[in-house]
Structures are given as C-alpha cells and as structure tokens.
C-alpha cells in the first residue's frame, strides 16, 4: 500500500514547504488546496494549506502526521495558486507569507488564536452538539478562550475541526475580530414603494397630491435628495428628509399610509447598497463609445489597455458598460480601487447598476464579512454568486472561477502597493499577471498614468485609449499660479492665503459656490522651533520633528505616535521663544474660519475620518451643501465628484514638489492635476489657484497647461540618464538595527557581497532622510536591474547574499527587508 505525503504551506515566513504524512484512510479527504491541521514547532498547531500530494518521504526529517482535514472542497483554485507562486518568486517572499496576506484571517486559525462568542449569537440554539455546548458554556464566564483552553474544556487534543465548524455556523469568531465587534446600528430610510417607481404612477400621485401641499413637498424633496431623475441615485435617510421638512414631518407618515413611501432599515455605515430596481440605462457620449470600441479592439489582440482620460471625462460609464458586457458573457468582473473607504461615491454609482450582483471586499471589513464574500464568490451555501467585486488590492486573492475582466481605477495610485507585511506587491502589476493567468481582459484607467504604464503604452505593450474631453459641457479648470514670494514681500498675505486666493474664496462664497482647500500636511503646525537657538522638538524614537496638533494640545510623531505637551520653554537654552512653524490642515481650517466667520468650514484628514462613518458623513454633508469650504489632505483628490465646487486652492505646491525622490515630479504633477480636477461645474469653468514660493517652477507651468506628456517626456530623459524605471527595475534592501554604528558595519559588509556584480547599479548602503523610526536605525541599498528580463539569476544572487550574511552569527540581530519595485 502506498504511503502518501503532502507538502503543506504553513502560515509562517519559512523558506520551504513542510512535508507531512497523510494518515491511512485520509487519502481521499486530504487533497491539494484544502486546509489541514498540522503540528509545527513545539506543541503548536496551524491550519496549513496542501500545495501538493505525492509519495516521496522527506529526506532530511521524519514526517509528522496531518491531524485533520478542515475543508470539504478546495478554498482556493488553480489560478489563485499560480498567482501565489508568482508572488512568492517575483517578490522574493515565502509562500507562508503569501498565504497570510491572501486568506482572510477567519481561515487561518492556529493554537495562538483567541476565540470568542459570535456577537450576533443571542441564545444558544438547540441544534448544537455536546462539544459545542461545552465551549459556549465556557465562554459564558470568560470573554475569550485560547485553543489550548478549549482543548482543556473538551479534554481532547484535536479541537480545530470543532472550532472551525462553529465559526462556519456563526457560533464563534476568531480573536482578530474582537476590535471590530459591534452591534450594527440600524437606521431608518425612506423609499418609494414598488408601485410608484414608474414615471406614470409618479405623475399620477403628484397630481393627486395638489390638494395636500405638505405631502407634495415631502415627495418633491424625496425626489430631489434621492437624485431620482439623475443617474446618481442615492438612498435617503428618514432623518435627512425630516430635517428638510422641519414642521411637516407628519407628511412622511401620511405618504407611508398611502403606500407611496415605505420605511426600511439599513445598517449604519455599511457601504449603502442601492436598492431601487430600475433598469438603469447609460447614455454614452460619442467619446465614450469610441473609447469602448478601441478597448475591445485591443483586447482582441490580447493586450492590456491603458485608458488615459482627463479628470471628469466619464471613465466610470465606460467601466460600467464593459462590466455589463462581461456579465452578459457569464463571466465575473473585478473592479480594483486604491482605497475602498475613500470611494463611497463610486461604490454607490456601481450599486445603482449592479445591485445585488455586486459585492465589496476590503480589509476594513471584519472577518465574518470577508469570509462571507469569499463564499459568495465560490457560490457556496446560501450565497448567490457575485458577478462583480469592487475591492481594494486584497480582492485579487478572491477565488474567482470565471474571471473575465479586471478594471484598475487610478492605476498610478501609491496605495495599490502593499508595504507591510510582505509580500510587498503592487496590485496593478499583480492584476496584469492575474489577468494573464485567468485569460481575462484588463483595463487600467487614470487621468495621470504612472510612467511605467505610459511607457508600456507608448511601446505598444499596452493598448492606449485616450479621452481628452470632459464629460458634458465641462471645461478643463483654469489654473493660476500665485507667487508667495511676491505676496510676502508686499505684506499682502491673509494668513496662509495669497491675495488672489483670498479674493477668489470671497467671491465664490458670495456666489454660494463651494471651495476645496488642499494641504498635504495634517495637524496644526509641522514643527516647533526655538527662535533663539534653533532647537526643534523631535521624536525620541524617530529622526523627525513632532507635529503640533492643536485639538489634542500635543506634539505628535506621525511615524510612531510618540507625543508630548507643547514645550513652554526651549529644551536646549531655556528661552520662552519656542514658535510653531508651517501650517497643516488644522491651522488652515482655523485661519479660514477666522477670515470668513460666516462660512461653514470642515476638515477631511486622518484625524477627522478615523471613526467608521465620519468620511461618508463629510462627503454627504459636502454634497448636500451643508459645508461651504472643505479643507483636506490627499483624501480629497481621490475620485470625488462634486457638482458645486468652483474653486480649488492648493495651499503649498512647494511641499509637494520638493521631495527627495526620483518620482517627486511625476507624483507632484499627478497630485496637482487630480486635486485641480475637483473644480468645475456643469456649464462653468472651475478655477484652481496654486500657491508657491517657486512660482517659475517648470512643473507648475505644465500643470497650468494640463500638459501631462510634456512632463512625462522631460522626466523620462532624466530617468534614462540615471537608469531609473521604466528603464530599469529596482530592488530595495533595507537593513535595520537598534545600534547605528553596528548597523553601519553590517550594511557595509552586506553591500560588499553585491558590489562586484552590480557596480554602479548599486546605490548605498546609506541612511535615508528619516534614518531612525521607532528606535530602529535604517540603511538602504538600492539595486537597479534590467527592466526586460526575468531576473531570476539576480534574485538568486540576492538570496545568496542574504544567506551568506545571516550565516554570520554576529549579524543575527539585523533585520533585512526586501522590496521589489519599491514605490
């Protein structure tokens, strides 16, 4: 009789897979891509994933037994697994780390996991078995149990199958969810009943209501707020309608009694699914139709497509049309967005078209929701199969079985890159690989393509489709540069605002138009400095100055969270001459409120959007024109579309331009163009004012002319000269240690191993601008490698260098971090 073995991926950063023995009788259950419980290390159990089943015993060690099989069917498919392997090779990271990032943590129980009662479990149902009862009973007296404790409760060793089954039955949740545990708050909403959703019925009731003016008013307001006659319909909270109606609230009830309105409840803060079930038809412009035709042509040549469309050119409608075609063919579509939390508007629009066929997936969702989505993709249990997933980068790991289309929106966005933990993958690049493995079509859209993508398009590796006109009658915003040097010399500044920006704000307010002010620093002031001796308040753990947050009355480190009260006197010379310098969003907000006391001002940055629904509230308040001026950081630049914004002010272009990175100008142009794109209303030109001390900077001139290709061509010359991407690919090796002198020696030693091969294509080792974070000192090595090779031999060499380095005992404490294609 043959003895079978399984190579298992254990969810730990181990260089190799481990081989386990499949117990007799388990051969038919233990199949590839299913989870199994395996022992690892001393007394620890993990849920690992079978990569391969074979009959060769491991040569170097005695194989331990698989304890249990957790799944009845594979939880990922062959396409997923190919992608995992590609990631592991390309990003030089262990399969265990890929597994850790790819699977929702509900799939990753181990003996360290803490288990809690499911928050929605009210009473213990009779259908549970004895073991389940014992565990739930134990959780009456304790809030959570470790697996070891559960093992004691059940007086048996093998408990993971029981726990796993209980998680599936929604009796338990894993500990990672504890911070997200909350009873969802239900909020009442108003909508038209099905009977009144046709134009004809609506007109009838409007006529009939002419005798009941208050009810008429209520209905009219509902139609307006819901955007009933537009393509951007939204759900209407009862409270909002109440507020508008003020004294005639009872009209809503009257309409409910007449069965024109119905009240329904929805969980507060979940991305509001749109429920009105009208067949939405798109009216596409000629430009959009042409773009769709071209995209499909390129797809027939099996090319990825770069959709380069100016801001507000109507890319979303193009995507919607392509998704509809994909679903019609019976396939699934994936819509990747950089940060799902910042795309409420987009998600609502897509929901209007795809309703229940669409699912949303991202890491801010709690585990239950993520596992549910996972199951809904495969189509198990009660879940209907999703046809469209809108998600952040982690949705690339979902087990689609019939993926036909991937859309990457805002492909240039940095947040597609995963920084920590490894694998440090770039979702756009991964999407291209995923599309190729699953033979799906792919389109990447943006107003400002990344230079890598644009270069690929010019070299015809990608199809290039352009949309140069703004949607409807909108014109490109008019951009002016405001010279801060001059304004300061003439003492003409109003706080942080140049006379030009001040005047424009004033006039826009008078015209009852809305304003966006952009500043890429949060907090009140980026630093405090003694004007007598030059001392600054720096973080004690990082090499960076502390930012003053007025609201918290503290100086805070944005890297490690260290905070101290604002110093009353200088820490060096003792003088009481410590002054705040520079301005962050908090200060801009304060100044603008003082300058325009009647304006309603709000701020959107990390501080004001920390709470679960605060971002959505800010957006909807701004949409409802409850806010006149919105001050904010990068968050403002992401895919927002407001109808009434006529002015955008960029408070400091200098802090965007002067950044020590070869991508600084690429990013600066992109950011300013995106922020500027928020300006402009139907039939009216928007205005943008960019403030700068360096007003002759050529990049600013190009932004003014919306000259993307001009900046691209110029920057590409530099890239070629200094051999940077897209001419090369980069690998960054980071070494960290708590002793700076020792780290220096270690980094030099490491560099020596690689220098003979890379020569001038190795930069460093050198300390970055912020050379210490959380008390870890940092040294960087940057390797430039040819762009168009698979580079396997180079990666092997780097691996050798790391092994060689680690084999020397003295360097044991040095952390090494690999980043392929650092951003």
Judged by beta carbon, residue 158 or residue 769, the one nearer Zn ion is 769
CA nearest neighbour of 445 among 319, 306, 561, 589? 306
Judged by beta carbon, residue 42 or residue 568, the one nearer Zn ion is 568
Q: How far is the CB of 564 from Zn ion (least distance, A)?
A: 11
Judged by beta carbon, residue 472 or residue 561, the one nearer Zn ion is 561
Q: How far is the CB of 545 from Zn ion (least distance, A)?
A: 10
Strands 563-565 and 388-391: unpaired
Q: Which two tokens stand for residue 388?
A: 């469209």
- DSSP H stretches of helix in 229-300: 238-245, 250-257, 286-300
Judged by beta carbon, residue 262 or residue 543, the one nearer Zn ion is 543
| Binders in 574-613 for Zn ion, by CB under 5 A | 575
Judged by beta carbon, residue 208 or residue 573, the one nearer Zn ion is 573
DSSP string for 46-92: EEEEEEEEES---SSSPPPBP-EE--SS-SS-HHHHHHHHHHHHHTT
Over the range 624-652, which residues count as b (16 or more CB within 10 Å of their CB) and which as e?
A: eeebbbbbbbbbbbbbbbbebbbbbbbbb
Strands 172-174 and 114-117: antiparallel
In the chain, how long is the greatest CA-to-CA distance? Answer: 93
Q: How far is the CB of 769 from Zn ion (least distance, A)?
A: 14
d(CA 257, CA 260): 8
Judged by beta carbon, residue 375 or residue 532, the one nearer Zn ion is 532
Binding residues for Zn ion, how many (CB under 5 A)?
15
Phi/psi at 118 (nearest 5 deg)?
-65, 130
| Binders in 34-53 for Zn ion, by CB under 5 A | none
Judged by beta carbon, residue 703 or residue 773, the one nearer Zn ion is 773
605 with 633: CB under 8 angstroms?
A: yes
Q: How far is the CB of 569 from Zn ion (least distance, A)?
A: 8
Q: How far is the CB of 555 from Zn ion (least distance, A)?
A: 11
235 with 274: CB under 8 angstroms?
A: yes
Judged by beta carbon, residue 562 or residue 669, the one nearer Zn ion is 562
Cβ neighbors of 150 (< 8 A, separation 6 or more) are 115, 135, 138, 159, 163
Q: How far is the CB of 774 from Zn ion (least distance, A)?
A: 7
d(CA 764, CA 768): 10
Q: How far is the CB of 424 from Zn ion (least distance, A)?
A: 22
562 with 542: CB under 8 angstroms?
A: yes
Q: How far is the CB of 521 from Zn ion (least distance, A)?
A: 16
Strands 762-766 and 776-786: antiparallel
d(CA 212, CA 223): 17
Residue range at the interface with Zn ion (CB under 5 A); choices 242-250, 292-300, 354-362, 552-560: 552-560
d(CA 172, CA 136): 8
Q: Choose, by CB under 5 A, the member of 228, 383, 559, 662 that binds Zn ion.
A: 559
| Site map (CB under 5 A) of Zn ion, residues 560-579, x = contact | x-x-------x-xx-x----
Q: Which two tokens stand for residue 454?
A: 């644009």
Judged by beta carbon, residue 562 or residue 758, the one nearer Zn ion is 562
Q: How far is the CB of 231 from Zn ion (least distance, A)?
A: 47
Q: How far is the CB of 544 from Zn ion (least distance, A)?
A: 6
Q: How far is the CB of 540 from Zn ion (least distance, A)?
A: 7
The label of the residue with tokens 């001038």 reads 760
| Binders in 492-551 for Zn ion, by CB under 5 A | 530, 532-533, 535, 539, 541-542
Judged by beta carbon, residue 56 or residue 572, the one nearer Zn ion is 572
| Binders in 180-219 for Zn ion, by CB under 5 A | none
d(CA 390, CA 360): 5
Judged by beta carbon, residue 541 or residue 704, the one nearer Zn ion is 541
Does 665 engage in binding with Zn ion (CB under 5 A)? no
Q: Choose, by CB under 5 A, the member of 38, 310, 347, 557 that binds Zn ion.
A: 557
* Interacting residues toward Zn ion by CB under 5 A: 530, 532-533, 535, 539, 541-542, 557, 559-560, 562, 570, 572-573, 575
């Amino acid at each position: 009789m043959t003895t079978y073995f399984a190579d298992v991926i254990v969810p730990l950063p181990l260089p190799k897979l481990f081989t386990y023995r499949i117990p007799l009788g388990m051969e038919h259950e233990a199949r590839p891509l299913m989870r199994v419980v395996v022992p690892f290390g001393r007394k620890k159990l993990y849920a690992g994933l079978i990569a391969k089943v074979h009959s060769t015993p491991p040569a170097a060690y005695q194989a331990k037994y698989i304890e249990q099989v957790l799944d009845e069917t594979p939880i990922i498919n062959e396409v997923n697994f190919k992608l995992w392997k590609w990631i592991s090779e390309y990003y030089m990271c262990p399969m265990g780390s890929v597994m850790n990032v790819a699977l929702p943590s509900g799939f990753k129980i181990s003996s360290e996991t803490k288990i809690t009662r499911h928050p929605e479990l009210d009473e213990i149902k009779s259908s549970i078995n004895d073991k389940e009862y014992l565990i739930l009973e134990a959780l009456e007296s304790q809030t959570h149990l470790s697996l070891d404790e559960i093992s004691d409760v059940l007086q048996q060793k093998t408990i993971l199958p029981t726990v796993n089954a209980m998680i599936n039955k929604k009796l338990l949740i894993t500990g990672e969810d504890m911070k997200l545990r909350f009873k969802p708050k239900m909020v009442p909403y108003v909508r038209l009943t099905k009977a009144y959703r046709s134009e004809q019925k609506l007109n009838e009731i409007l006529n009939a209501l002419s005798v009941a003016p208050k009810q008429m008013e209520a209905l009219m307001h509902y139609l307006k707020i819901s955007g009933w006659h537009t393509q951007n319909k939204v759900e209407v909270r009862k409270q909002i309608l109440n507020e508008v109606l003020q004294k005639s609230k009872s009209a809503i009830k009257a309409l409910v009694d007449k069965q024109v309105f119905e009240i329904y409840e929805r969980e507060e803060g979940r991305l509001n699914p749109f429920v009105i079930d009208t067949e939405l038809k798109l009216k596409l412009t000629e430009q959009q139709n042409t773009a769709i035709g071209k995209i499909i042509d390129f797809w027939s040549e099996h090319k990825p497509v770069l959709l380069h469309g100016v801001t507000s050119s109507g890319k979303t409608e193009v995507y919607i049309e392509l998704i509809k075609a994909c679903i019609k063919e019976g396939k699934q579509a994936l819509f990747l967005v950089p940060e799902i939390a910042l795309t409420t508007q987009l998600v609502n629009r897509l929901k209007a078209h795809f309703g229940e066929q669409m699912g949303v997936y991202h890491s801010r969702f709690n585990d239950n929701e993520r596992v549910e989505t996972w199951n809904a993709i495969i189509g198990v249990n009660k879940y209907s199969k999703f046809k469209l997933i809108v998600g952040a980068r982690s949705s690339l790991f979902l087990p689609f079985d019939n993926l036909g289309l991937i859309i990457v929106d805002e492909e240039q966005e940095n947040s597609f890159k995963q920084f920590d933990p490894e694998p440090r993958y770039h979702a756009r690049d991964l999407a291209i690989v995923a599309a190729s493995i699953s033979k799906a079509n792919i389109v990447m859209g943006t107003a400002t393509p990344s230079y890598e993508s644009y270069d690929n398009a010019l070299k015809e590796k990608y199809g290039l489709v352009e949309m140069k006109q703004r949607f409807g009658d909108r014109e490109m915003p008019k951009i002016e540069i405001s010279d801060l040097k001059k304004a300061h010399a003439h003492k003409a500044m109003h706080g942080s605002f140049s006379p030009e920006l001040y005047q424009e704000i004033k006039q826009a307010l008078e015209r009852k138009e809305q304003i966006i002010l952009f500043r890429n620093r949060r907090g009140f002031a980026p630093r405090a400095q003694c004007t007598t001796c030059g001392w600054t308040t720096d973080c004690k753990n990082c090499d960076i100055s502390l930012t003053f947050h007025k609201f918290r009355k503290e100086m805070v480190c944005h890297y490690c969270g260290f905070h101290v009260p604002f110093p009353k006197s200088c820490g060096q010379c003792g003088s009481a001459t410590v002054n705040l310098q520079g301005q962050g969003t908090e200060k801009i907000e304060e100044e603008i409120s003082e300058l325009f006391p009647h304006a309603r001002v709000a701020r959107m940055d990390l501080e004001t959007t920390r709470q679960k629904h605060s971002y959505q509230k800010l957006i909807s308040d701004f949409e409802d024109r409850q806010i006149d001026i919105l001050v904010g950081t990068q968050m403002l630049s992401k895919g927002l579309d407001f109808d009434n914004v006529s002015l955008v002010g960029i408070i400091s272009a200098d802090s965007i331009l002067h950044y020590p990175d070869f991508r600084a100008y690429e990013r600066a142009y992109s950011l300013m163009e995106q922020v500027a794109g928020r300006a402009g209303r139907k039939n009216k030109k928007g205005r943008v004012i960019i403030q700068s001390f360096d007003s002759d900077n050529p990049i600013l001139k190009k932004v003014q002319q919306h000259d993307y290709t001009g900046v691209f061509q110029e920057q590409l010359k530099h890239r070629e000269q200094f051999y940077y991407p897209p001419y090369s690919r980069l690998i960054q090796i980071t070494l960290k240690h708590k002793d700076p002198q020792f780290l220096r020696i270690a980094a030099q030693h490491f560099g020596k191993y690689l220098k003979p091969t890379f020569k001038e294509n190795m930069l460093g080792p050198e300390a970055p601008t912020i050379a210490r974070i959380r008390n870890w000192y940092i040294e960087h090595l940057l390797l430039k490698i040819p762009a168009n090779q698979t580079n396997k031999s180079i990666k092997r060499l780097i691996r050798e260098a790391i092994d060689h380095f680690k084999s020397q005992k003295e360097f044991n404490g040095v952390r090494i971090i690999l980043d392929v294609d650092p951003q």
